Amino acid sequence: MVRRLSQVTVFSEAAVVLLLIGPAETATIGFLLSSTLLLIFTGALLIVIRRGHRRSCRCFGTSATPVGPLQVARNLVLLAMSLAGLMAIASEPTPSLDSAPLTMTIAAGAILGVLIASIDEIIEVFRV
């Protein structure tokens, strides 16, 4: 069952990426799927924390940091961003594809993505 669930998770995450790069109709579905996955992931983190397990969250790589409030907060930030994207698509279903704003959005997203994916390591540097 764990293997099948892992496969579904990877497929769902890949589907989110493909849906988000498509037109507004598919992007809406992508944001809904992304939000659903983030709710499931956050729920799983909360269950691990509540049970007192000292497992690491390898969501974005090989971090050895045990699951805790930081990972829950990270997921809630990502959920808020996904919901903001959903609201943006709903308010303007045919966004402008001017090159300057699009380039800035992609750059900001890439930088924020790297920071969020590295948050465990960044926090660890400042704990020393």
Q: Per-residue pLDDT for the chain (128 aa), expressed as one digit of tens each?
A: 888 988 998 899 999 989 988 887 888 899 999 999 999 999 999 999 999 888 777 676 666 777 888 889 888 988 998 898 888 888 776 666 666 666 777 788 788 878 877 777 777 778 76
Q: How many CB atoms lie under 10 A from the CB of residue 8? A: 10
In angstroms, rounded to a whole number, what is the distance separating the alpha carbons of residues 44 and 19? 24
Dihedral sign, Cα of residue 46, residue 55, residue 71, residue 113: negative
Q: How many CB atoms lie under 10 A from the CB of residue 101? A: 11
DSSP 3-state of 66: strand
- Report DSSP state, residue 109: H
- Beta-bridged to residue 66, according to DSSP, are 56
Taking alpha carbons only, the member of 72, 76, 96 closest to residue 84 is 76
Q: What is the pLDDT of residue 61?
A: 65
Q: What is the pLDDT of residue 22?
A: 82
Q: What is the pLDDT of residue 116?
A: 79
- Beta-bridged to residue 56, according to DSSP, are 66
Distances in whole angstroms, Cα of residue 16 to Cα of each of 20, 25, 28, 50, 116: 6, 13, 10, 29, 18
pTM score, two decimals? 0.78
